[in-house]
Amino acid sequence: MDTLKGLVINPGMVLGKAHIWSAPDEKTPLFDLYINQKEILSRALLRSTKELEETIASSSALYSDAVSVIFQAHKLMANDPLLLEDAVARITAGDNAYHAYKKAAEKVIAQFQTMTNQYMKNRIVDIEDATDRVLAAIVDTEYEQALTFPEPRILILAKMKPSILYHCQKPSVIGFVSAEGAYDQHSGLIARTFDIPGLIVKEIKEKVQPNDWILLDANNGEIYINPTDEIIKMFQEGKTVKS
């Protein structure tokens, strides 16, 4: 059994098997001189915008306006005029739509990484989420994954992307642990709106294997990987868990 400590994003205590989230495999982008790359980018932006508008509508109807505002911001980020101007210029210079948009997005992200304001730096994951959606659309890959399981799972993440946390719904996903993140990232707001317990644990990806049992104690900022029967019994009886 391993015990790890982390930063609390949303309190709670849950027990379940680990599901390690991984991005869907993207198709290799093809560069055909006879295909209009600007048109490919335009179609990808329309598709991404439509997906985000659907999420905005559903989140506005089901949850607080604070959640829908997150995806409204993603819509603006994906269609940022300066980003698109850079991407189109790269296409004009001979790049394909995928690499042009990717390089333009990376340039914006690099600018945010130099900022000293932590609030602004915490927006990087939103920019990545919004622009990764467009990149997936360019190569005709589904960006979002339905997180439904026959038994309760605890999601193991590399980063707290809002598009992932938005699909964390009980009883399928009862908690999450991310290697990166911060309390005031937008994903944290989503987790607290959905009341999904969560922690940030830097070394989580190296410590957890698929289907490991996880006791997530986000009340005390700890997780137990493959906890002993004694600790599980303490959890089930509602007692304070101590290793």
State both tokens at 29.
Answer: 């982008």
The answer to which of 11-25, 129-143, 202-216 has the lowest mean pLDDT is 11-25
- The pLDDT confidence band at residue 64, using thresholds 50, 70 and 90, is confident
105 pLDDT tier (thresholds 50, 70, 90): very high
What's the full length of the chain, in residues?
A: 243
Q: Where in the chain are the domains? A: 2-21+145-236, 37-138
Query: Which listed CATH number (3.40.50.10420, 3.30.1360.30, 3.40.640.10, 3.50.30.10) goes with 2-21+145-236?
Result: 3.50.30.10
Q: Tell me: the pLDDT tens digits for 187-233?
A: 999 999 999 999 999 999 999 999 999 999 999 999 999 998 888 88
The mean per-residue pLDDT over the stretch 64-85 comes to: 95
| Distance in angstroms (rounded) separating the CA atoms of residues 2 and 103 | 40
Residues near 235 by beta carbon (within 8 Å), at least 6 away in sequence: 13, 15, 215, 227, 241
Please check whether residue 156 is in contact with residue 133, taking contact to mean a CB–CB distance below 8 angstroms: no
Q: Is the pLDDT of residue 26 over 70?
A: no
Secondary-structure class of domain 37-138 per CATH: mainly alpha
- Domains 2-21+145-236 and 37-138 fall in the same CATH topology: no
